[in-house]
Structure 1
Amino acid sequence: MYARRMVKLTKQIDDSVLVTPGAKSNLRKRATNADDIFDDREAAEEATKENAKAIDALQDALWAERKRALLVILQGIDTSGKDGTVRAVFNRCGPLGVQVTPFGKPSDEELAHDFLWRIHMATPKKGVIGVFNRSQYEDVLVVKVRNLAPAAVVEQRYEQINAFEAHLNDTGTTVLKFMLNISRDEQRERLQARLDDAEKNWKFNAADLEDRKLWDDYQKAYEVALDRCSTAHAPWRVVPADRKWQRNAIIAATVRKALEDLAPQYPKPDWKPGDFKIE
């Protein structure tokens, strides 16, 4: 019963959020709420908790097996909820098997290498779920919008990213990519909340307002990245993120299904428990 229900739900999710490889993403026409998938907040939040618990159990088997890895990429504009997603979806998992890596402005050392160097260094080892808070896509998003590299260099990066993700897939790392899609109005409310709530003041960064002025440019850059880099081995999912509980429920269900498809197994020892006696 559960298996059929999960298959039906994840199919409904993907019908709504998946960017079909080779097709146009039409980002600016996509909904920023997911009322068609989750219209009951209480039920969605309960489903997220259940899926987070299941993700923990599956990750435990993945860690014990040590044969495959899962990489979850969270990409989105400021306030889209990358940190909140990590807390909601992976809060049950132990620290040994989940590695969260935030990518900010590259250091001098990182700039001295190719743009994928720091990314590859952070990919999860076998048995681990890796979560990227921002990712290699910053090099075709902020770099493109801010003109931080020549257009010809940025143009090359789409296929370089595709080849990199294909390599990860071929060597045992499943890649899940989520673009957290919020509306401009919702971003304004979240930024204002950081000013109004003293406990959220630390989150406010005046530079976010400069990026907000470039909203349309970022939307165009995201659309190109989604169109060019949604592949069979690593498709993009555009997750409506205006409602945090819908965002979390969609991603938790998708991550759980991906782990269940991997079906990690606990290894069988080459000894029998009865062979030992503990005094």
Structure 2
Amino acid sequence: MDEFRVTKAITIKDTNTKLVIDDAKKHLKTLRKQLGDLQNTMYAHDKYAVLVCIQGMDTAGKDSLIREVFKDFNVRGVSVHSFKVPTELELGHDYLWRHYLVLPERGKFGIFNRTHYENVLVTRVHPEYILGEKIPSVNRLEDINDGFWDKRFEQINNFEKHIAENGTIIFKFFLHLSEEEQKNRLLRRLNKPNKNWKFSPGDLKERKLWDDYQACYQDAINRTSKPHAPWFIIPADDKSTARYLVAKVLYETLIGYTDIKEPELDQDIKENLALYKKQLEQN
């Protein structure tokens, strides 16, 4: 899966959005069962947490990907958090506070559906949102300069380095959708009565800012793809392929952690297994 990992500076317009893998649905069905079994082992091992960050333009398929990839997980071992417009409570803290609160505990998977990167994506396209964060040094739009973004990227890198050094395995996926495919998906939302509720006129306003968002994604990915917190750019025009690729990256990476295994029974218990079985059979 190294072909999708960002290990050097990328130009986003030159990266592929169109990839179709034959039998992707069938392969995913096998992989997600293997991932579910692996998660059970990680839960018993209880030393690593896994943070899966999923970003993408509107209609990139984030929700359905989460549903399909993690379908075979034990519900006690996975949690999903979607980060939307900050609440008043959240705005009363620094921008990373709400993300710290819901980090996965050891042995569990945490999925961020939209992530802390919204703070260098949406806010960069709409810098006026930063004024609502009540930062002492930021009182007007002119204060939100290149130095401000440099510092914010440094803070995000430090955040990820800190949690990685304390046992969280980090995956960051950018579901890379073409502008043409987004148009087709928005039209399908409008044409299907059971999908209309997903559509907002605001989607069209944001779509006009496509190039701005792509530039911000490119900069964010280039600044923050690190060995301990890599970005993977996943071609997302075909949903089945995107889901399979994400599952494959997760599984192939995690099985490389050879220390992840179920704990062994105490020797005393091992030596008396036959006795315990006999006691149960007699009751």
TM-score (norm 1): 0.90
1:251 aligned residue: 246
C-alpha distance in 2, partners of 1:62/1:202?
Answer: 38
Q: What root-mean-square deviation, in Å, do the aligned CA atoms of Structure 1 and Structure 2 show?
A: 1.2
1:132 aligned residue: 112
- The amino acid that maps onto 1:26 is T
C-alpha distance in 2, partners of 1:204/1:56?
Answer: 33
- The amino acid that maps onto 1:235 is P
1:24 aligned residue: 9
How far is the alpha carbon of 1:66 from its aligned partner?
0.9
1:173 aligned residue: 168
Q: Which aligned pairs between 1:86-235 and structure 2 lie closer than 5 A?
A: 86-147=66-127, 148-149=129-130, 150-151=144-145, 152-235=147-230
How far is the alpha carbon of 1:246 from its aligned partner?
1.1
1:57 aligns with 2:50: no
C-alpha distance in 1, partners of 2:263/2:5?
Answer: 34
Provide structure 1 residue ranges, at least 5 long, that are not aligned to the other structure: 1-9
- The amino acid that maps onto 1:19 is V
- The amino acid that maps onto 2:213 is Y
Instruction: Name which one, 1 or 2, has greater alpha-carbon Rg.
Output: 2
How far is the alpha carbon of 1:275 from its aligned partner?
4.5
1:274 aligns with 2:274: yes
- The amino acid that maps onto 1:207 is G
- The amino acid that maps onto 1:209 is L
1:238 aligns with 2:233: yes
Q: Contact 1:74/1:179 (CA < 8 Å) preserved in 2?
A: yes
User: Which has the higher mean CA deviation after the structures are superposed, 206-215 or 50-59?
Assistant: 206-215
Structure 1's consecutive aligned runs of 4 or more residues displaced over 4 angstroms after TM superposition are none
SS of residue matched to 1:175: strand
TM-score (norm 2): 0.88
SS of residue matched to 2:99: helix
Q: Contact 1:181/1:238 (CA < 8 Å) preserved in 2?
A: yes
C-alpha distance in 2, partners of 1:275/1:254?
Answer: 44
C-alpha distance in 1, partners of 2:86/2:149?
Answer: 16
Q: Contact 1:144/1:221 (CA < 8 Å) preserved in 2?
A: yes
Q: Contact 1:71/1:131 (CA < 8 Å) preserved in 2?
A: yes
How far is the alpha carbon of 1:221 from its aligned partner?
0.5
- The amino acid that maps onto 2:15 is R
Percent of residue pairs identical: 39
